[in-house]
Structure 1
Amino acid sequence: MFDKLFHRARLSGHLFAVAAVLATLTGCQAISSAPQSQLRIIAASADTPGFDLYRGSAAVAFNLDFGTVTSYVPQTPGIDTISAETAGTRQVLSSSKVTLAASTQYTVLIGSSASSLQQLVLVDQSQPAPPGQMALRVIDQATHVGAVDIYLVPAGQKLTAVTPLITGVLFGANTGYLNISTGTYTIVMVPTGAAPISATAAAYTGPQINYSAGSARTVILIDQQPVTTSGLQVITADDYTPAAAN
């Protein structure tokens, strides 16, 4: 159920991002061919209401709900303030000064809880992983779950036969990109130090996913809703997909 909700939320984010691009282009006589920055937004705070995202006074996306991953929106390179504002108002929830470089992809991640909202600006991988490998980055934004060990279980293998990819992952962690052999994997997370007896007893078990050669993905750990419950969900953002895999 949560995966379906997040899928719908991601589609919603795509539409808002596209609308922002079209609004920017309206009335322009020509489109610049100069290299652009690329900016997307991820809404990872479970108890923060829908928000609009602005770069300076220009809207980038509207009414982003928890779990949304927008598409990349082209931006003119430069220094500016990025702010998340309560949807339909100009009430600032978080803001930060950022420098956007040409030909570079960025993620603005709005996370933590509403009372201590955090805004992270991440540089995303926009080049292929080494031959025969894929790049995976894990970011922990789950405020109600303790440390976890993360496993990538290859198709046809059991959790008990696999060593953890990362151990002791806590809220705020950013692993950076890890190059991993291409294949079909299930992401499984268990509380740190717990014996990986079976996937059914894990804190989180995802679907089998085929990771194509050269691809780059970001996996974000987030809270379940309602936020008062202790649970773990995952959203995955597509950072780079080789043309042959499209």
Structure 2
Amino acid sequence: MKRILVLMVFLLAALSLAGCNSSSSSSSSSDPTTQVRVLHASPDAPAVNILAGGSPVLEGVDYKDGSGYLTVPAGSLEVAVDGLLPGGATLTVIGPLDIDLEAGTQYTVVAFGEVTEIKPLLITVDRVTVGAGETRIQVLHAAPNAPEVDVYLLPPDTNTVPEGVAPVGTFEAEGVLGPVNVQAGSYQIIVTLADDADTIVFDSGTVDLPGGADLLVVAVQNTAAGDAPISLVVMDGEGSTEILDKNSPANVRVVHASADAPNVDVVANDVVTLVNDLAFPEFTAYLAPAPDTYNIKVGPTGNAVGNPVIEADLTLEAGQSYTVIAVGTLAEIEPLVLVDNRRRIATEARVRIVHASTLAGNVDIFVTDAADTDLTTVDPVFSDVPFKAETGYVSLAAGTYFVTVTPVGEPETAAIGPVELELEAGGLYGAIARDPLPPETDLGLILLDDLAEPI
């Protein structure tokens, strides 16, 4: 909270200075006001910093993050957007550009398009008070790869577009519908291909439009689990929330990382076999179960329900992806559940390493650009990593890297590696440190994502 307040002070100072330099007034304290907010809607761009008047006002804004309004003096404002690159570098991807802020107007600055063609969209609307029984809605198409579509605002529990019902509007990328005022209440937002009401590409399910609300609804490219090409980001003046297609599944994959455990089945609710005959050190493709809480049993192939070695309840949320790893020796086997972020970023490779070796003890992880690097002369990227810990997603520039895992404080003793990795921008790379595959005696890696195919 303290950081946000400091950033707001920076923005207010920058805007006040801009107001002083404006021909409309000589004193920012007497200027009428306007409101400004921002949205990151570039699906393959990194997180960004937003600068106003040359000073950062919002930092680390990720895809689909939208800010609340800031009320500021009217006048001219210089705005820029800096992308965050691996290693802490930044690159200005939008601007600097000057925006003339008029009194009584609300502005939304949207970073739109894939990173190679990113540009700002400036959405404006008159600043008004919405009646208690109404909701004002404006809709922006900000999904660069989605086609022209029709948008319908229908009663709840509508599974198809009724014959003869006209859409609220038709638009393509960069298009804006509204604003329009509708009666507050519950609705269903359905998006279809243009002039094809039978082909639904997005269905919100029931959504509540509260009285007095002033909403910008932005269709963005979907990066969550499921086949829907878009999701909706709803900006209400205080922040943003995402609405997924009502049929969005969860995604989950399973990794067998217990070296002395037999081949296993994975069964949900004693009935549904999710995985059959998975051997160490294999992993599955992503499955797409409905979001729910499941009782999961893992046990020997053909007898998982009768003789489970793992039994646990697993809650899967709509749109979220998970990796579930069976870790530990057979006597102490347990599930390690990781939440995955599968968004690909065009300016970086993203790497995640998991420690699942029962024999290695705590380890140091080195990432170098040469196989023969003297590890005694460099610091590990991650130090003293315990069993079952993971690095999170690490951003690296495209290139060739060598990963070496050593006992803590023993850089001259490689427990794993050096393992050569060729990383490409936009790539996802996962590796799990594992115990030896019998009859081998060396520790190894289970390679995931772009490094290996599932079974």
TM-score interval, normalised by the smaller of the two chains: 0.7 to 0.9
Residue aligning to 1:52: 265
Counterpart among 232, 236, 240 of residue 447 in structure 2: 236
Q: Determine which of 390, 404, 411 is the counterpart of 1:174.
A: 390
- What percentage of residue pairs aligned between the two structures are identical? 28
Please tell me whether the aligned partners of residues 220 and 235 of structure 1 are also in contact (alpha carbons under 8 angstroms): yes
Of 67-76 and 40-49, more deviation after overlay is shown by 67-76
The higher-RCO structure (CA 8 Å, 6+ apart) is: 1
Task: State the distance in 1 between where 2:296 and 2:343 align.
Answer: 25
Following the alignment from structure 1 to structure 2, what is the Cα–Cα distance between the partners of residues 85 and 114?
A: 10
Measure, in 2, the Cα distance between the counterparts of 1:195 and 1:222: 19
Per-residue CA shift, 1:84-114, capped at 9, x if unaligned? 1211113211021122112221111111010
Paired positions, count: 204
Q: Which residue of 2 aligns with 1:113?
A: 329
Q: Is the 1:139–1:173 Cα contact (8 Å) retained in structure 2?
A: yes
Which whole-Å CA distance do the structure 1 matches of 2:402 and 2:340 have between them?
Answer: 23
Structure 1 residues without counterparts, runs of 5 or longer: 1-31, 241-246
Question: Offset at 1:59?
Answer: 0.7
Question: 1:1-246 counterparts in 2 under 5 A?
Answer: 34-56=247-269, 57-89=271-303, 90=305, 91-129=307-345, 131-155=346-370, 158-160=373-375, 162-196=378-412, 202-226=414-438, 231-238=442-449
Cα deviation, residue 226, structure 1: 3.8
How many Å separate the matches in 1 of 2:336 and 2:371? 37
Structure-1 residue corresponding to 2:34: none
Give the CA RMSD over aligned residues. 2.5
Structure 1 residue 157, shift from structure 2 partner: 6.5
Whether the aligned pair in 2 keeps the contact of 1:42 and 1:109 (CA below 8 Å) is yes
Q: Kindly state the Cα deviation for residue 239 of structure 1 after the two structures are TM-superposed.
A: 7.4
Please list the CA deviations of residues 146-165 of structure 1 after superposition, one character each: whole Å capped at 9, or x if unmatched.
22211112147624464321
SS at match of 2:309: strand
Asked if 2 retains the 8 angstrom alpha-carbon contact of 1:39 and 1:108, the reply is yes
1:45 Cα offset (Å): 0.4
* SS of the residue 2:403 aligns to: strand
Indicate conservation of the 8 Å contact 2:371/2:418, yes or no: no
TM-score by length of 1: 0.74
Give the counterpart letter for 2:395 in structure 1.
N
Shift of 1:182: 2.4
Q: Following the alignment from structure 1 to structure 2, what is the Cα–Cα distance between the partners of residues 159 and 234?
A: 22
CA distance in 1, matches of 2:331, 2:371: 43
Contact map agreement 1:152 1:164 (CA 8 A) in 2: yes
One-letter amino acid of the structure 1 residue matched with residue 341 of structure 2: Q
> 5+ unaligned residues in a row in structure 2: which ranges?
1-226, 229-246
Looking at secondary structure, tell me which structure has more helix per residue.
1
Counterpart code for 2:277: N
| DSSP-derived class of the 1:144 partner | coil
Greater displacement, 118-127 / 204-213:
204-213
| Cα distance in 2 between the residues matched to 1:166 and 1:172 | 14
